[in-house]
């Protein structure tokens, strides 16, 4: 029996793009990635708890296996791409004040435009 789930717009954007590139349906792409992820987790080549610990800074990445480093790097890059609440608040305040460079609600880079003098 099919089930519905909700995924964030950011995830769906990635799924849609990859499904087009791989000539799969959206559901097919998600199922494909799910099977890969499950196989990797069960492979014994890495320990997800160790990767999580490295992401949290509790262990050094030098302690990870090559397979664990690959997964850690993907997760690390993904986390870097997501602004935190403090960063969002900082740029929202700058936008309110009409100052500096920031990001709009869609994550696009904005630059300050010189105010016109009357």
pTM: 0.43
What are the residue boundaries of the structural domains of the chain, listed by start? 10-81, 83-118
- The tens place of each residue's pLDDT in the chain, 118 residues long, gives 778 889 889 999 999 998 888 888 999 889 888 888 877 777 766 777 888 888 888 999 899 888 888 888 887 887 777 788 888 888 788 778 877 676 777 877 777 664 545 4
Q: For position 3, what pLDDT does the model report? A: 85
DSSP H helices, 3-47, are: 9-21, 26-43
* Cβ neighbours for 92, distance < 8 A, ≥ 6 positions apart: 102
Structure tokens at 107: 């994550």
Quote the distance between the C-alpha of residue 54 and its chain's center: 17
Centre a 10 Å sphere on the Cβ of residue 37 and count the other Cβ atoms it contains.
12
Q: For position 36, what pLDDT does the model report? A: 80
């Amino acid at each position: 029996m099919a089930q519905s789930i909700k995924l964030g717009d950011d995830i769906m954007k990635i799924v849609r793009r990859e499904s087009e590139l791989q000539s799969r349906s959206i559901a097919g792409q998600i199922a494909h990635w799910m099977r890969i992820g499950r196989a990797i987790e069960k492979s014994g080549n890495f320990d997800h708890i160790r990767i999580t610990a490295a992401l949290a800074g509790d262990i050094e990445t030098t302690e990870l296996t090559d397979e664990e480093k690959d997964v850690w790097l993907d997760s690390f890059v993904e986390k870097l791409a997501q602004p935190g609440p403090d960063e969002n608040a900082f740029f929202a305040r700058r936008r309110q004040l009409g100052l500096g460079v920031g990001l709009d609600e869609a994550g696009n880079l904005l630059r300050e435009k010189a105010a016109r003098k009357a």
